[in-house]
Amino acid sequence: MKHKFLWLSLVLLAGLASAAWAQASAQVVEVLEGLDPVLLVQGKEAQGDLKLSVTRGQFRYLFANEANKAAFEKDPARYEIQLGGACARMGVPANGIADLYTVYQGRIYIFGSGQCKTAFVAAPEKYLPPENKPMHATPEMLKKGQALLEKAVAAMGGATKIDGLASYHEKSVTTQTRGQRGEVQVKNGLWAVFPDRVRWEVEAPDFNDPSVMRRNTMVLAREQFVINSVGKAFPLNGPQLAVQQQQVQYKPLLLLRARAGLNASYLGAGKAGETAVEQVMIELPGVPTTLSIDAASGRLLSLSYNRRGPQGTFGEFVQTFSDFRAVDGVTLPFQINATFDGQPWKDQSFVIEAITLNDKVDAKLFEKPQEKQ
Residue 61: is its pLDDT beyond 80?
yes
- Cis peptide preceding 195, ω within 30 of 0: yes
Per-chain mean pLDDT for the chain: 86
The confidence score (pLDDT) of residue 32 equals 97
In one letter, which amino acid is 196? D
Q: Sketch the domain layout of the chain as residue ranges.
A: 22-126, 133-363
Residue 236: is its pLDDT beyond 50?
yes
pLDDT by residue (tens digit) across 11-59?
333 333 333 333 444 578 999 999 999 999 999 999 999 999 999 988 9
Mean pLDDT, residues 117-139 taken together: 88
The confidence score (pLDDT) of residue 140 equals 95
The confidence score (pLDDT) of residue 242 equals 56
Most confident listed range (120-134, 235-249, 345-359): 345-359
pLDDT by residue (tens digit) across 339-357?
999 999 998 999 999 999 9
Residue 198: is its pLDDT beyond 80?
yes
Position with higher pLDDT, 147 vs 238: 147
The confidence score (pLDDT) of residue 112 equals 94
Position with higher pLDDT, 236 vs 205: 205
Residue 139: is its pLDDT beyond 80?
yes
Residue 262: how many CB atoms within 10 A of its CB? 21
Q: How confident is the model at residue 176 (pLDDT cuts 50, 70, 90)?
A: confident
Residue 248: is its pLDDT beyond 70?
no
Cα 120-123-128 angle, rounded to 5 deg: 70
Mean pLDDT, residues 188-193 taken together: 92
Query: 3-class SS at 92?
Result: coil
Position with higher pLDDT, 317 vs 237: 317
Distance CA 17, CA 22 (A): 10
Q: How far is CA 20 from CA 66, 94, 249, in A?
A: 36, 6, 18
The confidence score (pLDDT) of residue 174 equals 93
Residue 143: is its pLDDT beyond 80?
yes
Q: Where are the alpha helices (DSSP H) in 18-94?
A: 19-22, 37-40, 66-74, 76-79
Mean pLDDT, residues 152-165 taken together: 97
The confidence score (pLDDT) of residue 17 equals 36
Q: How confident is the model at residue 9 (pLDDT cuts 50, 70, 90)?
A: very low
Q: Which residues on adjacent β-strands are paired with residue 213? A: 205
The confidence score (pLDDT) of residue 272 equals 83
Of the options 2.50.20.10, 3.20.20.450, 3.40.50.10480, 3.40.50.150, the CATH number for the domain spanning 133-363 = 2.50.20.10
The confidence score (pLDDT) of residue 19 equals 35
Residue 320: is its pLDDT beyond 60?
yes
Residue 135, CB half-sphere, CA atoms under 13 Å: how many? 23
User: Are 64 and 46 spatial neighbours (Cβ–Cβ below 8 Å)?
Assistant: yes
Residue 7: is its pLDDT beyond 50?
no
User: Are 116 and 313 spatial neighbours (Cβ–Cβ below 8 Å)?
Assistant: no
In one letter, which amino acid is 148? L
Q: How confident is the model at residue 337 (pLDDT cuts 50, 70, 90)?
A: very high
Position with higher pLDDT, 348 vs 234: 348
Q: How confident is the model at residue 4 (pLDDT cuts 50, 70, 90)?
A: very low
